Amino acid sequence: MDERILKWLYDIKFALDEIELYFEGKEKNFAEYQKNIMLKRAIERDLEIIGEAVSRILKKDETFEKEISDSKAIIGLRNQVIHAYDSISDENIWSIIINHIPKLKREINKLIEENKS
Residues with a catalytic annotation lie at 78, 83
CB 110 within 8 A of CB 16: no
CB 39 within 8 A of CB 33: yes
